[in-house]
Amino acid sequence: MATSWEYRYAQRTKGMQSSVVREILKVTSQPDVISFAGGMPAPELFPIREIEEACVKVLREHGSSALQYSITEGYVPLREFIVEKISRYGIKADVDNVLITTGSQQGMDLVAKVLVDPGDVIIVEAPTFVGALQSWRAYQASFAGVPLDDDGMRVDLLEEKMVETHPKFMYILPNFQNPGGVTLTRERRERVVGLAHQYGVPVLEDDPYGELRFEGDHIEPLVVISASRNGLDPDGYFKGDVIYMSTFSKTVAPGLRMGWVVAPVEVIKRLVQAKQGVDLHTSTFDQMMVYEVVSDGFLDEHVKEIRKMYRQRRDAMLAAMEQHFPSEATWTHPKGGLFLWVTLPEGVDCLDLIQEAVDNKVAFVPGTAFYANGSGHDALRLTFATCSVDMIDEGIKRLGKVMAKRIKQPA
């Protein structure tokens, strides 16, 4: 007789759960719902023609080697491209400092695989990226949240939290944070790096949106600030306490699952060992194809288009919120990226609101999804990237009505 599987599962599965965001996306995928819920880039910007040309070129020029097993570290020309690309931000790296990952979600999985023992504490921004929480719950990590304000993580609360929890690492999204939409200031970055060094706690710097800045000046990444304090390692490349991650998901296309990690060589070696056991390597063909798409200056031009469209949509959303949201609601004003964060007046619960919103054909992600401890009932995340300006106006109007009703008649 077949036995139940229930008693067979590993301890770590107790912390594992389906992504709340992905569950909501299922509900809101009907075509008549205006969804501000997904974290998806605008599909009308995907470079379909360039990808088709790249596919044909890769297969004709590289033939079978584009389809064969390849090295775990990743396609060398693509890693060289990344080295050149990040050097503009002051990140001094060599090909050996770069690992191609199957999306930056895999970067998160591998970093935890290499660093996290059960019970280890990870310091996160509160709220933080839901996919990070999901990945690390499978490693039986604990989370210590440090609140955000308009200038990013409240670093004035960070040292106390570090002393209290002895974290294994800190996870920080410095630019146009998901879900907060806020950016960590230069002064706060200095402080984070200083504390990282003082306490010997590494930082995982996740920068998927850094290129999508609409206004204001670029701020040096944590990895550069750390390297400038530590100097360079004997090979002339960066060393320090920061692992840097990014992705082509927001600048080329997310369905290709193509991200990368930049770290000291010794850390990359460990991550490579972990990746061998996980998927051997990222699709050889997709790596070569993405390289063909992004090289020759295309990416720079393409990113300008993305910035322009997202900026228009952000402006439209902010304007519509001013017009249609009840005066009791407040929200962040992101200078880039895809997301903004709305805080509701006390007594209104976003989990009640989402039901009513979906009934009124508009969707968002409840704030609770982004907190490790289940708080965030008074908040919600909106994406301005995916909908047209007209749909944004209509959707915000619908959402404003639902909010106003709830504020007058709390559940």
Among positions 256-315, residues that touch its own copies (CB under 8 A) are: 256-257, 264, 266-267, 270, 272-274, 276-286
The answer to whether residue 255 forms part of the interface with its own copies (CB under 8 A) is yes
Q: By CB neighbour count within 10 A (0-12 exposed, 13-18 middle, 19+ buried), where does 387 fall?
A: buried
Positions in 347-386 near its own copies (CB under 8 A): none
400's CB contacts (< 8 A; 6+ apart) are 321, 323, 324, 325, 326
Positions in 184-213 near its own copies (CB under 8 A): 197, 200, 202
**E-strand stretches of 31-120:** 34-35, 98-101
The answer to whether residue 31 forms part of the interface with its own copies (CB under 8 A) is no
Sheet of 365-366: strand order equals 330-331, 339-343, 379-383, 365-366
Nearer to its own copies, 183 or 287 (CB): 287
CB distance 232 to 193 below 8 Å:
no
The answer to whether residue 69 forms part of the interface with its own copies (CB under 8 A) is yes
Q: What is the distance of C-alpha 171 from the center of its chain?
A: 11
253's CB contacts (< 8 A; 6+ apart) are 41, 46, 47, 51
The answer to whether residue 330 forms part of the interface with its own copies (CB under 8 A) is no
Positions in 214-243 near its own copies (CB under 8 A): 226, 230, 239-241
**Site string (107-146) toward its own copies, x via CB under 8 A:** -xx---xxxxx--x----------x--xxxxxx-------
Instruction: Single out the residue of 32, 44, 296, 359 in contact with its own copies (rule: CB under 8 A).
Output: 44
Q: From 400, 411, 351, select the one nearest 375 (Cα to Cα).
A: 351
The answer to whether residue 393 forms part of the interface with its own copies (CB under 8 A) is no
The answer to whether residue 52 forms part of the interface with its own copies (CB under 8 A) is yes
The answer to whether residue 65 forms part of the interface with its own copies (CB under 8 A) is yes
d(CA 373, CA 396): 28
Nearer to its own copies, 60 or 408 (CB): 60
The answer to whether residue 33 forms part of the interface with its own copies (CB under 8 A) is no
Select the span of 45-53, 85-93, 301-309, 312-320 touching its own copies (CB under 8 A).
45-53
The number of residues that bind its own copies (CB under 8 A) is: 92
The answer to whether residue 1 forms part of the interface with its own copies (CB under 8 A) is yes
Nearer to its own copies, 244 or 325 (CB): 244
CB distance 175 to 213 below 8 Å:
yes
Nearer to its own copies, 239 or 335 (CB): 239
State the nearest-atom distance from the C-beta of 146 to its own copies, in Å: 20
42's CB contacts (< 8 A; 6+ apart) are 306, 309, 310, 313, 385, 386
Select the span of 9-17, 183-191, 206-214, 313-321 touching its own copies (CB under 8 A).
9-17
Element (H, E) at 247: strand 242-247
In this structure, the chain runs to a length of 411
The answer to whether residue 152 forms part of the interface with its own copies (CB under 8 A) is no
